[in-house]
Copies of this chain bind each other. A is one copy, B any other.
């Protein structure tokens, strides 16, 4: 597929389109106009048309969008039309919560193993997924095609582990550790900094408080 440079804002909106179209599909809706989709999603119809035009359109003037077709096309754009195999580094509460979250698997994100350093966790299964010793990371990765490594470890260990992952050929990291990772250009990182999200919320609270 030829791709042009797509803005971050558009990329952030695509999963939301995918979610709404999935709900329409579940409700048996076959076709939707950009106006109706716009009302449902609370974005302007012209925004929707512009966003989708980045990928060649998909709509027919006067006929609206074919929901299933658009849903599948967005899945392709998002790269979730094929499985993404993942490992989780860090088998603590957070790693276990992510492992138990079945929604990821429904979207093709398949967790193959959890890695940990704690003897109490190593050897235990979480939902049939084994917890392996961090010492086995390199040998495991040499025998498995893994697309994404998920980091749910304390920040002081995160960069060192990242370097090991990158050396093994991992090209995508979903980072829950509370620091900015240094990676080569060919590696993509998506951060989920929960404390920062919570601080944005407290900012909004104090902004409202001052307005009152």
Contacts and interface: CB of A to CB of B under 8 A. Distances in A.
A208 B190 CA distance: 14
A200 interface: yes
A25 interface: no
A198 B190 contact: yes
Interface residues of A, number: 58
B93 A196 contact: no
A68 B40 CA distance: 46
B186 A208 contact: yes
Nearest to A147: B205
Nearest to A188: B204
Contacts of A141: none
A148 B193 contact: no
B12 A200 contact: yes
A42 B188 contact: no
Interface stretch (A57-65, A103-111, A116-124, A160-168): A103-111
Contact of A148 (B12, B14, B104, B205): B205
